Amino acid sequence: MANKEAAVAELAEKFRDSNAVLLTEYRGLTVAQLKQLRKSISDDATYAVVKNTLTKIAANEAGITSFDDQLAGPSAMAFVHGDTVTVAKALRDFAKANPQLVVKGGYFDGAPLDAAEVTKLADLESREVLLAKLAGAFKASLFGAAYMFNAPLAQAVRTVDALRAKQESEAA
């Protein structure tokens, strides 16, 4: 009994400490495939095979009830501590290559996600790509602003130069 309570406490802590949690069913995957999946997401998440009853209790203790109806069959959770989009992409890509892996749902930013929403999350660009695009937009805006500030000055220089040339030609 104490062992189960410790497992529930540990799982509840994982739920509380995670940026997101993604629920999968892994029926039919080999140990080698699970190891490969764990390795592919290890930078941003831990992937753990879980007992449904204990997980339901732990999730409820952490204030998450959205998994109550989904915890059936062989379940595993990706507890995300890094970039959620990267983990969702990795799970989606792994599931394409290994159809036995089924993404059933998730919990992200205080809200439950169904499988379709996890797929939409996977379709987003990674944080690094979005930041790079934002930096590019800022850079383009700065170049535009610099051009706008320099254009009147350049125009004034050309006008003064034309007036000087005109005066020189009239004086000659």
pLDDT in tens, 105-148: 888 877 777 777 777 777 776 666 667 767 766 676 666 666 66
3-class SS of residue 65: coil
Q: Rounded to whole angstroms, what are the CA distances from 85 to 6, 13, 98?
A: 30, 22, 19
The model's pTM is 0.65
Give the start-to-end residue ranges of the domains of the chain.
2-124, 126-172
pLDDT in tens, 5-22: 888 888 788 888 788 888
Per-position b or e across 98-112, b if 16+ CB within 10 A of its CB: beebebbbbbbeeee
**Which CATH number is 2-124 given?**
3.30.70.1730
Instruction: Check: CB of residue 143 under 8 Å from CB of residue 137.
Output: no
